[in-house]
Amino acid sequence: MLYKFKSKGTGDLIMLQPNGRRMLEIIGKIRPGDDEKEAAQGILLPEQMSAAMQALAAAVAQEEARQKAALADALAHEQPAPRFEAISLRQRSLPFMEMMRRCEKAGHAIVWGV
């Protein structure tokens, strides 16, 4: 499954299901236990975008702090450096954050699954 985020103010943003679902969980549009039917479509209103961007920024900071701590712990115990995902949450969230910035400024909603 793909998530296709659409808005009048930007081009479409397409994400694979695991990445799109993670973004929606972080911004509070779905809960981790929700099934695919509940997550398949929705809307993000301009007045919700500031909070959504803050939530994504906090999640990025948290992931980076965890990775830094894991690396420091490995170095302290003279173990090999841990392996992380090749594409970080910061990289994955950047297009979505930019879409939200533009849509918030223009007053356009973001929809998916419609």
Q: For residue 86, what pLDDT is reported?
A: 84
> What would the two tokens of residue 14 be?
């397409």
Q: For residue 15, what pLDDT is reported?
A: 95
> What would the two tokens of residue 49 be?
């975008």
Residues paired with 5 in a beta bridge? 13, 112
Q: For residue 83, what pLDDT is reported?
A: 85
User: φ, ψ for residue 110 (rounded to 5)?
Assistant: -115, 130
Q: For residue 34, what pLDDT is reported?
A: 76
In the 3-class helix/strand/coil scheme, how is 54-111 assigned residue by residue? HHHHHHHHHHHHHHHHHHHHHHHCCCCCCCCCCCCHHHHHHHHHHHHHHHHHHCCCEE
- Cβ within 8 Å of residue 48, ≥6 positions away: 27
User: What is the residue extent of each domain of the chain?
Assistant: 2-112
Over its length of 114 residues, how does the chain's per-residue pLDDT go in tens digits? Answer: 799 999 998 999 999 999 999 999 999 998 877 777 777 889 999 999 999 999 999 999 999 999 899 888 888 888 888 888 889 999 999 999 999 999 999 999 999 987
